[in-house]
């Protein structure tokens, strides 16, 4: 892939909340969430919180909004609920929370996934956005998808040393659109 890590720059750890979206998993049986947590910690980031939430839009929206409002959470990564079946509602929940969608994330994820699972990647609705200065990334629930999403995209974009650019360096400016409202007392 393009880009590189600039070793002359300092690594900046961020706080990441991890949510597994599932009707059947528990923290004890959640292998994809565990893979994600291990990779996040190995890189030097911190886990702000880890939960399993049922595939229900109101529950997902409530938890996403709680994390977005929490100044101790810089980023949210979910695993699961991104398919096309009736219970797969993570993208719908994300769309109710984000202020801006990041369409390139889902596009790049599916392109990377094509190498692993072929045309079955069209069944993924991986997506991303940002709300109140908090990044939100939705990955499919398979172990392979979590590895692809972290190892090929998020590991780099959540590293302030990645060049030519990364999501971390944008964090101080993510809330700029809120400044006029704050100045007006809204």
CA distance 25 to 168: 31
pTM here is 0.93
Phi, psi of 162, rounded to the nearest 5 degrees: -70, 130
Mean pLDDT of 104-108: 97
Q: What is the DSSP letter of 27?
A: T
Q: Which pLDDT does position 128 carry in this prediction? A: 98
Rounded CA separation 42/174 (Å): 26
Q: How many CB atoms lie within 10 A of CB 120?
A: 10
Torsion angle, alpha carbons of 9, 11, 16, 18, to 10: 110
pLDDT reading at 178 higher than 70: no
Q: How confident is the model at residue 2, as a pLDDT? A: 62
Q: Please compute the mean of the pLDDT values over residues 135-160 and round it to a whole number.
A: 97
Residue 176 predicted with pLDDT over 90: no
Is it the case that residue 51 has pLDDT exceeding 90?
yes
Q: With 70 as the cut, is the pLDDT of residue 185 above it?
A: no
Residue spans per domain, the chain: 8-183
Question: Mean pLDDT, to the nearest integer, of 142-160?
Answer: 96
What is the average per-residue pLDDT within 148-171? Answer: 96
Q: Is the pLDDT of residue 166 over 90?
A: yes
| Mean pLDDT on 77-89 | 95
What's the gap between Cα 27 and its chain centre?
18
Considering the four listed CATH numbers 3.40.640.10, 3.40.980.10, 3.40.50.150, 3.30.420.40, the one that applies to the domain covering 8-183 is: 3.40.980.10
């Amino acid at each position: 892939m393009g880009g590189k890590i600039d070793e002359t720059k300092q690594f900046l750890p961020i706080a990441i909340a991890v949510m597994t979206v599932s009707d059947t998993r528990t923290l004890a049986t959640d292998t994809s969430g565990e893979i994600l947590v291990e990779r996040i910690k190995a890189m030097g980031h911190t886990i702000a919180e880890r939960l399993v939430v049922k595939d229900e839009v109101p529950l997902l929206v409530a938890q996403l909004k709680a994390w977005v409002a929490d100044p101790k959470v810089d980023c949210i990564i979910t695993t699961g609920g991104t398919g096309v079946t009736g219970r797969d509602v993570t993208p719908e929940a994300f769309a109710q929370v984000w202020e801006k969608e990041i369409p390139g994330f889902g596009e790049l994820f599916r392109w990377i996934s094509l190498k692993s699972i072929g045309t079955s990647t069209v069944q993924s609705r991986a997506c991303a956005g940002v709300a109140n200065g908090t990044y939100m990334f939705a990955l499919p629930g398979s172990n392979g998808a979590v590895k692809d999403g972290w190892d090929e995209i998020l590991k780099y974009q959540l590293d302030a040393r990645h060049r030519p650019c990364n999501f971390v360096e944008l964090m101080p400016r993510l809330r700029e659109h809120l400044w006029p409202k704050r100045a007006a007392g809204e």
